[in-house]
Chain A
Amino acid sequence: MSRVAVAATLALLAIAAPALAEDRSNGERLAGAGSFEFQMGQYRPMIDSEFVLPAGTPGPWESSFGTSRRWMFRLHGAKALFRGYGTLELGAGVGYLQANGHGIFADGTVSEEKTSFKLLPLSLDLTYRLDLVWERLGVPLVPYGRISLLRDQWWVTGAGGKSSMSGATNGWGWGGGLALVLDYIDPATAREFDRDSGVKHTMLTFEVQKATVNDFGSKSSWDLSNDGLMMTFGFMFAF
C-alpha cells in the first residue's frame, strides 16, 4: 500500500509541476456552499489485538475473515462555515464495509457455514482546506486536514445465520490529504460541468486517515480502529 501511496503522490506532483513552474493568477475560489465527497480505502479492524494468543494462532477476526483488508466506501457531505486563506467545513459522513467469511469447527477446520461482519461508520467532521494554494498560487494541489468524531454501527451474523449481534462503538480520528483540482486539467469541461450541475470544482483526493474507535478506551469495548493508517482516494465536488 505504501508503494501505491508513494506512486500516487509522485503522480500528483508530476501533474502539478507545470503549475509550480509558472506564475498563475487565474485560480478561482474553491469554497462555495460546501462539498460532497466519495472515498474508498482498505480497512482491517484491530479486534484481534485484545487477545494474547500463542504465535501462529489466529484471532477471531483472522480465523473468520482472513488477514486481507476489506474495501470501505464512504460518502461525505460538508457545509462551509468560514472562508479565509482556506475553508473550514463542518460535515457528516457515512460509509459501508462488509466482510464475509466461514465459521470453524471445534477442531479449527474451516466449515462451509458463512459468517459476516457489516460496518456502517458514521462521522462528524471538521475539515480545513488550504484553498489559497490554488486560488492565489494557481497550484492545483490543495492540502487539507480534518478531525472527526466517529460512531461505528456494526452487525455480526453467525454461522448459518443462527446467531447475530449488533452494536455501536464510538471514537475519533484525524486525516490529512491532498486534493488535485481537476479543473486545472480541463477548464472547459469544468465550466460546462458547473453550468450543468452546479459543481464548481471537482477534485481527486488522496488522504491518510487514522481512526481510534474503541469507545474512547473503554474496557468493555473492542477495538474497531483501523490496523495502521488507512490510505483513501476519492472524488470531491465543491458547490
Chain B
Amino acid sequence: MLRRLVLLAALFSPVAGLAQTAGQVLISPTAFGASDCASTTMEVTISWTSSSKAAITTGDAYRVFLSKGSIACSSATPGVTQFKPDITATSLSQSYPGVADPLLYANEFMTGAGVSCGTTTTVNICVQHIGTSSTMPKGYAEGTVIYEAVAPPVPTGVSVQPGDSSLFVSWSDGTSTGVPAVSYNVTAVDPANTADTHTQNFTGKTNNRIGGLTNGVTYSVTVTSVSAGGNESTPSLTPATGTPQPVSGFWEQYTAGVHREQGGCSGGPAGLVALLGVAMALRGLRRRS
C-alpha cells in the first residue's frame, strides 16, 4: 500500500511541479468598438505579468502573440506568428509599447491578430517569458479582448412613471446582436422645446431615474444601449412620454397643515442639559456613598 502511494506521488509530483497558472494580460482599451478597427489614432497598450516564479535574469525576453484563433501559449511552439520582435525583459510585470518603443495603434493590433473589420471577433493575446537555457517558456501570460463590429440591441418596451422633477424609466434589452449592452443612454426631450433635452448614462440596470426635469412638462423619452467598445444602438423605436409632477415626501406631508414639530433641536439643549444633570447627580451620589 505504502509503495503504491509513493509511486502515485512520484507520478504526480512532476506534473504538479511543472503546472503553472497563466499570468494575466490586460489590454487598454478593454474593448474595441466598430470605428476602432481601422483607427490609426487609437493607442493600444498590452500589459502582462509573467507566471514565472523565478526572477528576471540577463537575456530573458518576452514574445507577444496575437490571434483571433487559439494560441498554445505554454508551448515552445505557440502555432502563431510572433507579433513583434523579442522584448527585453526587465520585470515580471511589463507592458508594450515601452518608453522607447513606437506607439501601437488599433489598426496595427487588429491586423496583427488577423481580424477582419466588420466581424465581431475575440482576440487572444499571449505573452511568453523566454529564458536563455531552454526553448520552453519560463512563464507566460494570457488574455483576450473583444472587437465589437456591431451595436448592442436596440432597447424595447420603454415605459415611464412620473417623479418629482424626474421620470422613472424602465426598458428591456432587444433582440441580441451578439454584442451585449453594458450601459444605456436615457434621453428625455421636450418636443415643444428641444433645448430642454436631458441625457443620462446608466450602467447595468434596465430601469432608472432621470432627474433635472421640469414639473408639468411632458417629455418624450428614448433609450439607446452602449457596448463595452462604445458602440451605441439606435434609439428605442417608440418614444414613451411622461410628465414630472410634484411629490410630497414624509416631511412635506407632515408640514402641509397645522403641525407641531419645526425641526432642529429647539427642545434639544434643554434635554441635553437634563441628561447631563442626571448623570452628574448620579456621579455625586456615588462619590458620597
**Which residues of A does B touch, CB under 8 Å?**
47, 50-51, 60-61, 63-65, 81-82, 90, 101, 103-106, 111-113, 115-117, 124, 126, 149, 151, 156-160, 162-170, 215-216, 218-222
Evaluate whether A47 and B272 lie within 8 angstroms (CB atoms) in the complex, with A81-B282, A103-B247, A167-B264 already known. no
Query: How far, in angstroms, from A50 to B165 measured CA to CA in the complex?
Result: 31
CB neighbors of A among B239-289 (8 A): 245-254, 256-257, 259-268, 270-272, 274-275, 278-279, 282, 286, 289
- Which of A64, A168, A222 sits near B253, CB closer than 8 Å? A64
Task: Please tell me if the beta carbons of A222 and B260 are within 8 angstroms of each other in the complex.
Answer: yes
Scan B156-167; emit 1 where CB is below 8 A from any A CB, else 0: 000001111110
**Shortest Cβ distance from residue B168 to the other chain A in the assembled complex, whole angstroms:** 4
- Which of B248, B254, B256, B267 sits near A221, CB closer than 8 Å? B267
26 residue pairs from A and B, CB less than 8 Å apart: A64-B249, A81-B282, A81-B286, A101-B250, A104-B247, A106-B246, A111-B245, A111-B247, A112-B163, A115-B250, A124-B278, A158-B250, A159-B247, A160-B166, A162-B165, A163-B249, A167-B265, A167-B266, A170-B272, A170-B274, A215-B266, A218-B267, A220-B261, A221-B260, A221-B266, A222-B261
Query: How far, in angstroms, from A166 to B282 measured CA to CA in the complex?
Result: 31
Task: Please tell me if the beta carbons of B161 and A60 are within 8 angstroms of each other in the complex.
Answer: no
Evaluate whether A105 and B245 lie within 8 angstroms (CB atoms) in the complex, with A65-B250, A156-B251 already known. yes
Query: How far, in angstroms, from A216 to B271 measured CA to CA in the complex?
Result: 9
Query: How far, in angstroms, from A163 to B249 measured CA to CA in the complex?
Result: 8
A-B complex: 5 closest residue pairs judged by Cβ atoms: A170-B271, A158-B249, A115-B249, A215-B267, A60-B253
- Determine chain B's interface SS by DSSP, over half rule: mixed
**Shortest Cβ distance from residue A163 to the other chain B in the assembled complex, whole angstroms:** 6
- Which of B164, B256, B268, B289 sits near A159, CB closer than 8 Å? B164
In this complex, how many residues of chain B approach chain A with their Cβ under 8 Å: the count is 41
Complex interface: chain B residues within 8 A of A90 (CB): 279, 282
Query: How far, in angstroms, from A50 to B251 measured CA to CA in the complex?
Result: 14
**Shortest Cβ distance from residue B222 to the other chain A in the assembled complex, whole angstroms:** 20
Q: Is there a chain A Cβ closer than 8 Å to B198's Cβ?
A: no
Of listed B165, B247, B249, B262, residue having the most chain A CB within 10 A: B249
- Which of A61, A157, A164, A222 sits near B259, CB closer than 8 Å? A222
Task: Please tell me if the beta carbons of A51 and B257 are within 8 angstroms of each other in the complex.
Answer: yes
Task: Please tell me if the beta carbons of B254 and A47 are within 8 angstroms of each other in the complex.
Answer: yes
Closest to A82 in B: B289
Of listed B163, B168, B270, residue having the most chain A CB within 10 A: B163
Task: Please tell me if the beta carbons of B271 and A106 are within 8 angstroms of each other in the complex.
Answer: no
Task: Please tell me if the beta carbons of B252 and A221 are within 8 angstroms of each other in the complex.
Answer: no
**Shortest Cβ distance from residue B243 to the other chain A in the assembled complex, whole angstroms:** 11
Closest to B161 in A: A112
Q: Is there a chain A Cβ closer than 8 Å to B29's Cβ?
A: no
Query: How far, in angstroms, from A223 to B256 measured CA to CA in the complex?
Result: 17
Q: Is there a chain A Cβ closer than 8 Å to B68's Cβ?
A: no
Task: Please tell me if the beta carbons of A160 and B278 are within 8 angstroms of each other in the complex.
Answer: no
Query: How far, in angstroms, from A126 to B279 measured CA to CA in the complex?
Result: 10
- Which of A60, A61, A103, A220 sits near B260, CB closer than 8 Å? A220
Complex interface: chain A residues within 8 A of B247 (CB): 103-105, 111, 113, 159-160
